Amino acid sequence: MRAPSVKKLASLAAALLLSGLAIQASAADLLATVQARGTLKVAVEGTYPPFNFKDTKTRELSGFEIDVARLLAAKMGLKPEFVSVEWSGILAGLSAGKYDVILNQVGITPQRQASFDFSEPYTRSSAQLIVRKDEKRTFASLDDLKGKKLGVGQGTNYEERAKAVAGVEVKSYPGAPEYLQDLAAGRVDAALNDSLMVSYLLKASPLPIKAGAPIGEVAQMGIPFVKGNPQFKAALNTALAAIIADGSFARASVRWFGIDVSKAPIAK
């Protein structure tokens, strides 16, 4: 076997050095990045009440997920830095490294898990009926509303879902205030929305209405971040577990929804 030349050995050593540096750079965990920076960059829409929105008086971001982001950042020894992004581009911005995480009710799905890592779930929701407080009939599913009137938001997934059930008379409204008024007045038999929104709407409503049966599968929402950051994932989940254990997560949840939204929805 011919021995390699000194020149070739030098070239090989340089290549190995560069390769090692590249591996080190690519292996740098997001936890080290945010700790060095001192901030956690959090993407939100900023137009999604009660989760994240601009307060009309202070013009500052407010909402449940703003509170949660602040709690998590504090547990991680960081300051939250919020970035407002339209929903249509929010996941692409995460892929591009424009921010560290998203807190914007991002559902944990197999398709998204193929591209991103997620924290443990922090909210759970499903479709849920709303009924009058004195309702004696049992509506446990959309099938139970055949021959009945159901109020939904115009152009929503719930309108589409309700119309797919033959025999249900679907009445579409511009928004929740209108169909809740009609429900209280007896002009519809029930209404349908997301369970988290149901809790939020009922918390502030003086109308004689209540949460009805949850409908369908329970979706889980988590905090996505770029794959390949196991230390960051562990730190984020530790912080989430800590704010759940010390009650601060539940207090934020009750402030906005009147319930603990980390639990699966139930009828009241």
pLDDT band at residue 130, thresholds of 50, 70 and 90?
very high
Which residues in 179-212 are b (16+ Cβ under 10 Å) and which e? bbbbbbeeebbbbbbbbbbbbbbbeebebebbbb
Does 37 score more than 90 pLDDT? yes
Does 238 score more than 60 pLDDT? yes
Strand, coil or helix: what is 127? strand
Of 51, 73, 72, nearest to 62 by C-alpha is 51
Strand, coil or helix: what is 132? strand
Residue-wise pLDDT for 152-191, tens only, equals 999 888 999 999 999 999 999 999 999 999 999 999 999 9
Residue-wise pLDDT for 241-261, tens only, equals 999 999 999 999 999 999 999
The residues facing 225 across adjacent strands are 117
d(C-alpha 11, C-alpha 34), whole Å: 36
Does 24 score more than 80 pLDDT? no
* Mean predicted lDDT score pLDDT of the chain: 90
Percent of the chain clearing pLDDT 70 (strictly above): 90
d(C-alpha 23, C-alpha 101), whole Å: 23
Domains and CATH numbers, the chain: 30-122+223-257 (3.40.190.10), 125-218 (3.40.190.10)
Residue-wise pLDDT for 99-116, tens only, equals 999 999 999 999 999 999
